[in-house]
């Protein structure tokens, strides 16, 4: 029986997957995404075919459905690779997840509330569905292990770092690492000889400065809430704002955390959407392959333009800053749903910036599932 690697990449309401053949040099067998998990009108997109469901579906149910749609028998799956967003200050390298390790990782769920819970729920489901398979966690933070202390430490008492591990961890590392490697191939230069700025723009957003193949700065910090404006996440904040809101709104820390993670960003600024396609459309920009809402109120148009300007201004600020840490930038590499599909965003965020040299602006689809499969194969 052939051996295959199943990669599962759980998001806040999605479950992406890729099935790879070990014997055929990780040739892709099946791939897709189960979307709107836990929400109304969920659907499975597998190998380009969309299947709709009428009831809400949880992660375990989604995984069981995916398995029934795969091209191979599930017993041929000997290893399962999982993207795990946050392993705190304990887990960085790909790790075999036993039940003991699962419990240790779960202690860091509060640091990535939109993702870690989903990641671990899927691993837990795999214990019963694939009792003989090995579950390997690949951490989003691993790409940033060579950050220097001056780049990862916060200016709070050093004991807080030593005792609680409070530092900049960085996320989307699997994505940034894979597109940097692919960009070097596209530029026909060794990765350790070039400097890049990689920009991951989706519902979550991040930017990384890469010097000679090594990540030296990243916008995401202690949690995935830091940095750029995102779909529902605020990004950079004056640290006194959450404390001020807690007093004014008379709300708990958990409620303020939910506000900043799920009700801010593009959604909070626009007041009606977290979808950049709708923001662009309401701001009178062309949007590729858009079939959604086309009529907006004057107030929605005004707020959408404001949200877009805040998003672009924050992104331009980071691009300019990161370029200053690199002698020469060979390319600015965009990935993610927004980064790949929106020439408007790429143009607005990079035009009229004084770079040393003229970097190429390129787009590369992020293949996190393949990158995870490669790391899993190397350690099994």
Query: Which residues are catalytic, by number?
Result: 140
Q: Which residues contact 36 (CB under 8 A, 6 or more apart)?
A: 13, 14, 42, 43
Which of 182, 179, 170, 239 lies closest to 206 in space, CA to CA? 170
What are φ and ψ of residue 137, in 5° steps? -90, 130
- Dihedral in degrees, nearest 10, Cα atoms 271, 253, 233, 307: 40
Question: What is the pairing mode between strands 360-363 and 331-335?
Answer: parallel
Q: How many Cα atoms are found within 13 Å in the side-chain-facing hemisphere of 173?
A: 29
Report which of 267, 257, 205 is spatially closest to residue 232, judged by C-alpha positions.
267
Tell me 24's DSSP state: T
Residue 205's DSSP bridge partners are: 201
Q: How far is CA 54 from the centre of its chain?
A: 28
Alpha carbon of 371 to those of 12, 18, 61, 284: distances in Å? 20, 11, 26, 37
């Amino acid at each position: 029986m052939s051996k295959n690697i199943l990669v599962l990449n759980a998001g806040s309401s999605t479950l992406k997957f890729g099935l790879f053949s070990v014997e055929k040099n990780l040739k892709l067998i099946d791939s897709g995404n189960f979307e709107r998990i836990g929400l109304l009108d969920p659907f499975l997109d597998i190998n380009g075919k969309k299947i709709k469901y009428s009831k809400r579906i949880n992660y375990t149910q989604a995984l069981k459905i995916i398995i029934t749609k795969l091209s191979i028998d599930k017993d041929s799956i000997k290893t399962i690779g999982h993207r795990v967003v946050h392993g705190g200050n304990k887990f960085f390298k790909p790790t075999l997840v036993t039940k003991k390790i699962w419990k240790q990782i779960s202690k860091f769920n509060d640091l990535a509330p939109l993702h870690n819970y989903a990641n671990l729920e899927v691993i837990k489901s795999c214990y019963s569905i694939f009792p003989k398979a090995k579950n390997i966690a690949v951490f989003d933070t691993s790409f940033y292990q060579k950050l220097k202390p001056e780049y990862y430490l916060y200016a709070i008492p050093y004991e807080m770092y030593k005792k609680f591990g409070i530092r900049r961890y960085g996320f989307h590392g699997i994505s940034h690492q894979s597109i940097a490697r692919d960009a070097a191939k596209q530029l026909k230069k060794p990765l350790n000889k070039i400097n890049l700025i990689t920009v991951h723009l989706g519902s979550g957003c991040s930017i990384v400065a890469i010097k000679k193949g090594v990540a030296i700065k990243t916008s995401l910090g202690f949690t995935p809430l830091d940095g750029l404006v995102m779909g529902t996440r605020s990004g950079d904040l004056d640290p006194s704002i959450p404390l001020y809101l807690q007093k004014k709104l008379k709300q708990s820390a958990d409620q303020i955390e939910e506000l900043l993670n799920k009700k801010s960003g593009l959604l909070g600024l626009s007041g009606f959407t977290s979808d950049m396609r709708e923001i662009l459309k309401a701001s009178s920009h062309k949007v590729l392959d858009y079939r959604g809402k086309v009529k907006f109120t004057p107030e929605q148009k005004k707020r959408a333009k404001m949200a877009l300007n805040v998003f672009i201004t924050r992104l331009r600020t980071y691009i300019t800053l990161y370029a200053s840490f690199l002698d020469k930038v060979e390319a600015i590499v965009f990935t993610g749903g927004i980064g790949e599909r929106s020439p408007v965003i790429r143009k607005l965020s990079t035009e009229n910036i004084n770079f040393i040299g003229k970097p190429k602006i390129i787009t590369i689809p992020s293949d996190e599932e393949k990158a995870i499969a490669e790391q899993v194969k190397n350690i099994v």
